[in-house]
Amino acid sequence: MKKRFYLTYPPELIKEPLIYQVGKLYKVVTNIRQSSISNKLGLVALELEGEPAEIDKAAQFLCDKGIKIEPIELDVIE
């Protein structure tokens, strides 16, 4: 399963290797799809691939660290 999220980092967490930690602590593959980082704000579009329970744990880890995390809803038109 794959899920995509928007992550918003506050200034004090921008230099923390949290995405790396997620990949080490949980059985998920991390894929940065897009990012914009400055000294005041970090925005990342992150894809997590793995079992649903592991993805949920990884997302909760980021929330607990102080990252604002929002699911990216993909609309598919065929």
Quote the CA–CA distance of 9 and 64 in Å, as a whole number: 12
This prediction's pTM: 0.87
For 34, the 3-state DSSP assignment is strand
pLDDT tens-place string over residues 15-69? 999 999 999 999 999 999 999 999 888 999 999 999 999 999 999 999 999 999 9
Quote the CA–CA distance of 58 and 17 in Å, as a whole number: 14
Question: Is the separation of the CB atoms in 67 and 9 below 8 Å?
Answer: yes
User: Would you report the helix, strand and coil content of the chain in percent, each value rounded to 5?
Assistant: 30, 40, 30
Quote the CA–CA distance of 8 and 45 in Å, as a whole number: 9
Is the pLDDT at 75 greater than 60? The verdict is: no
